[in-house]
Amino acid sequence: MAHTQETVHAIVEKQRAYFRTGATLDVDFRIEQLKKLRKAVLDHKELLEKALWEDLRKSPVEAYLCDLGPVIVEVDEILKGIRKWARPERHFSGLMCFPSMSTTVYKMPYGVSLIISPFNFPILLTLGVLAASISGGNTAVLKTSSKSAACTEALKKMIADTFPEEYVTVVDGGHDTADMCLAERFDKIFYTGSPAVAKHVLEMAAKNLTPVALELGGETGNWCIVRKDANIRDAARKIAFFKLCNAGQICININQIAVAEEIAEPFLTELKKEFVRQIGEKAEENPDYPRLITEKVYEKCERLTEQYRDRVIFGGTGNREEVKFSPTIVYPVEIDEDIVRHELFCPMLPVVPFRDEQIDGILDVIASREHPLSMYVFTSDKRWAKRVMRTLQFGGGCVNEVCIHMMVKGVPFNGTGHSGMGAYHGEWGFREFTHPQTVLFGKTHMNLPLREHPYSGKAGEQKKKLLKWFER
């Protein structure tokens, strides 16, 4: 269906009218919807896996590992905790409020939410956010990516089979349709994508003062640091796995590696061995290796490979017909070169050598650039690693590991600055889609005249003394 501004407006108003019935406020209702969502994912598993294959050539194993499975885990975590999270909080009002001593904080849904999801994890980053929206008691319009057309069609069928349009619906189309959605007054917007588009989302949302959550890849990409005391075989194995995953099209993926010169050669030897062990000599010929989402991304890989041809030490080959490009190591690269100043979002992997005793200089450069979504360090010096992780600003990260920090239950996920705002997963997603609404319950008897005039003279002095005493 080709949407117009009128059809999008009608959808939003239909959802607004449904929200105002109060049906979504009931926690039992939300639990029922979350269970429906979980069942729908399992019932449509083959349809979703087929769509992920068609769009990204994801194997069934990778489709479940990276898209379907995490949705089930997310829903299960919410189901386990939602009653506790949604329970109103009771607070002592304090002596300043005497005799009205009881205050309640209600966790109120925003209302009609807009979820704009990307192509790289079209199931997870649509349904995972939807689960958070449902947990908060909102309705949802899902604007899925036109680049992952098969997944959009699968989601349209799954959502239509599961929820009424006035509660949850999918709106398909390109950037023009996204702008139609952004022109409407939503109560909450959650956007996943690039910092450049995020600025446009914020600009449009500002017209209606709509609160926005952003999950972004980061303007200058995510760093991985490999110190000279690292277990290079372990580091190579994990980095190779991660760079192969979704062909590097992951917002938390490693954009560039800074490796100590002292171990650079053996590390790169191990990294190349791991790529071959895990995917074969030519990744683009392996059916399990995902493809790039568009020919434009493929052409970017070709262009960068040609630009750095004399420094390509592994990969640099592709299959244009299948839109697959091999993981490609570029070494050595200076830290100020263009290839390490932008998010790549592809299988290119530039490597920056540094003297290990000059690590503080590398950290200064990273800190001076836009905040990354993720940060990874490989080292046996845990004290140094802890210092780095608590002083640099980024979304989240790992020490001697990659990516699995986002799989930990009970912790938030997202970035800061150019890598995002807000947070979600589990209770953090519930918080992101609810507004804490404070209500004081007043008393009609024993009210003191402290706040009332007169404020001057002897009465004023006495009131001031009492106020200071109450403040303690």
**How many other C-beta atoms can be found within 10 angstroms of the C-beta atom of residue 346?**
22
What count of residues does the chain have?
472
Strand order, beta sheet including 396-399: 312-314, 328-330, 348-354, 254-260, 222-226, 374-378, 396-399
Q: Is 215 a catalytic residue?
A: yes
- In angstroms, rounded to a whole number, what is the distance separating the alpha carbons of residues 93 and 90? 9
- In angstroms, rounded to a whole number, what is the distance separating the alpha carbons of residues 188 and 210? 6
Amino acid at 29: F
Catalytic option among 74, 184, 215, 274: 215
Amino acid at 71: V
Let me know the angle formed at the C-alpha of 324 by 323 and 327, rounded to the nearest 5 degrees: 150
C-alpha 180: how far from its chain's center? Answer: 23
- The alpha carbon torsion through 408, 414, 416, 420 (nearest 10 deg) reads 170
Q: Is 346 a catalytic residue?
A: no
C-alpha 78: how far from its chain's center? Answer: 17
Give the tokens for residue 346. 């592809």
DSSP calls for 2-22: ---HHHHHHHHHHHHHHHTTT
- Closest C-alpha among 218, 187, 249 to residue 370: 218
DSSP state of 23: G
Catalytic option among 181, 245, 251, 301: 251
Handedness of CA 440, 444, 445, 447 (dihedral sign): positive
CA atoms within 13 A on the CB side of 332: 11
DSSP calls for 35-63: HHHHHHHHHTHHHHHHHHHHHH---HHHH
C-alpha 20: how far from its chain's center? Answer: 29
Please list the active-site residues. 215, 251
